Amino acid sequence: MKKIVIFASGSGTNAENIIKYFAETKNGTVVAVFTNRPDAKVIERAQNHQVPVVVFSKFDLIESKILQKLNAFRPDLIVLAGFLLKFPQDIIEAYPDKIINIHPALLPKYGGKGMYGMNIHRTIVENKEKETGITIHFVNENYDEGNILFQKIIILAGNETAEEVANKIHELEREHFPQVIERLLEKLTF
């Protein structure tokens, strides 16, 4: 069974969805959740499913102290699910093409530093975009610039609020993120 480690910074709805999904399959399991926020709701969500949690500081990430802790779990795939810090080069080099992220917009539009969550949805509404969606991509040394694995587009009516756009995006994430992870696990050879 392939091992998944999730990195998250916030509420953990995507992380919990992935944990639940892989609890029902035989080809993957979430072995740990890493978070940089000791008050993140993802901690409680992971613990409710008996998934170990590793809490670390931004300093730990910058000083390359996380790689050793990560290696202890021997992950086959690292999934960023609402992780807001730039991912460190040492982990990217140690796990090439084995780190993915979900982005709540259609990259390359609305990517980069500071473009996450409601910031994106408000900007999409303000710019009167006709469509939006999700992007699942590999992680590289730059924010939101890794090779794209999957995109799902939704058409906007033009009268949605940022909150309504966010709800539509969350539905897409719940439906597609675990399935894309599963397909990727099936293709990975080690």
Q: Which residues belong to the active site?
A: 103
Q: What is the DSSP letter of 115?
A: -
Element (H, E) at 136: strand 131-138
**How would you write 37-70 as a 3-class SS string?**
CCCCHHHHHHHHCCCCEEECCHHHHHCCCHHHHH
Pairing label, strands 99-103, 131-138: antiparallel
CB distance 8 to 28 below 8 Å: no
- Cβ atoms of residues 43 and 9 within 8 Å: no
Residues belonging to the binding site for (6R)-10-formyltetrahydrofolate are 101
The label of the residue with tokens 């021997």 reads 74
- DSSP for residue 81: S
**DSSP secondary structure letter of residue 75:** -
Q: How far apart are CA 48 and CA 14, in angstroms?
A: 14
Binding-site residue ranges: 12-14, 101
